[in-house]
């Protein structure tokens, strides 16, 4: 039987061997929700960067620069980190260089995995179908916040484990804990998350509508896949 595991923070990646696994990177609020939205709306590719200056340098190569630090759009960048920005028709066919506080760091920490894909509630069923069609064990990598565990990524991990649980062995207590948390939260995730640190952080920046959107399942059928360092 295939195994599913959950890494609750990128700082715990040293505990996992990923060379034979499919990694699902998740940053529900908001990086992987933006990536899913962008690819679903026809953006050609997203090149993720851990470092801001590497991302900014891609402007010279004709890329749109996008992302945030501490939730705020970076000065000089074309786009921030709201999924609604990635629905603009004029972005169709464009290449984006993307860097975020946690999401693109989690991708960088996952390099070396057999397969790296992007998960969000927006494409959760597509992710389940993708994983079921593969023979690989699964590691869900939660981006968290600067090394700390967060609730929204753990909830998504739990939702994905819950979908996969019939056909996969749970590798340790992290997938079990995530699944149990999700089962408590699933009927009203917006309410369940209202006291969470990142929801409060975003509220201080007056960001509200992104949260509800990012918690909405199955808006898109795409699964962004990292191929040679580029999400397509």
Q: Which is nearer to ligand 3SL, 127 or 164 (CB)?
A: 127
How distant is the alpha carbon of residue 25 from its chain centre? Answer: 5
Residues 6+ positions from 18 with CB-CB distance below 8 Å: 110, 112, 113, 114, 139
Q: Which is nearer to ligand 3SL, 143 or 222 (CB)?
A: 143
Measured at the CA of 151, the angle between CA 145 and CA 157, to 5 degrees, comes to 100
Q: Which is nearer to ligand 3SL, 21 or 102 (CB)?
A: 102
Residues in contact with ligand 3SL by the rule CB under 6 A:
27, 29-31, 68, 71, 81, 100-103, 143
| Range 140-160 burial, b when 16+ CB lie within 10 A, else e | bbbbbbeeeebbbbbbbbbbb
Candidates 82, 188, 182; CA nearest to 142 is 182
Query: CA 209, CA 5: separation in Å to the nearest integer?
Result: 31
Q: Which is nearer to ligand 3SL, 97 or 164 (CB)?
A: 97
DSSP letter assigned to residue 103: H
Q: Which is nearer to ligand 3SL, 81 or 219 (CB)?
A: 81
**Helix residue ranges per DSSP H, 14-102:** 31-40, 52-57
Q: Which is nearer to ligand 3SL, 29 or 96 (CB)?
A: 29
Least distance to ligand 3SL, CB of residue 3, Å: 27
- Token pair belonging to 90: 């004029």
Least distance to ligand 3SL, CB of residue 73, Å: 9
Q: Give the β-pairing of 95-99 and 72-73.
A: unpaired
Least distance to ligand 3SL, CB of residue 14, Å: 21
DSSP letter assigned to residue 207: -
């Amino acid at each position: 039987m295939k195994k599913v595991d959950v890494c609750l923070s990128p700082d715990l990646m040293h505990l996992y061997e990923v060379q034979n696994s499919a990694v699902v990177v998740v940053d529900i609020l908001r990086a992987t929700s933006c990536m899913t939205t962008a690819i679903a709306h026809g953006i050609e590719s997203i090149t993720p960067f851990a470092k801001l200056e590497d991302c900014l340098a891609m402007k010279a190569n004709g890329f749109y620069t996008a992302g945030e630090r501490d939730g705020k759009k970076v000065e000089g960048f074309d786009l921030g980190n709201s999924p609604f920005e990635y629905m603009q028709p004029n972005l169709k066919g464009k290449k984006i260089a993307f860097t975020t506080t946690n999401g693109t760091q989690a991708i960088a920490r996952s390099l070396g995995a057999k397969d790296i894909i992007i998960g969000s509630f927006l494409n959760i069923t597509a992710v389940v179908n993708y994983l079921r069609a593969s023979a690989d064990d699964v590691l869900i990598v939660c981006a968290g916040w600067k090394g700390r565990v967060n609730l929204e990524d753990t909830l998504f991990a739990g939702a994905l484990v819950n979908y996969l649980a019939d056909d996969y062995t749970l590798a340790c207590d992290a997938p079990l804990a995530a699944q149990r948390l999700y089962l408590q939260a699933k009927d009203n995730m917006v309410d369940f998350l209202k006291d969470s640190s990142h929801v409060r952080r975003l509220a201080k920046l007056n960001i509200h509508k992104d949260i509800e959107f990012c918690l909405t399942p199955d808006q898109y059928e795409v699964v962004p896949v990292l191929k040679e360092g580029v999400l397509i």
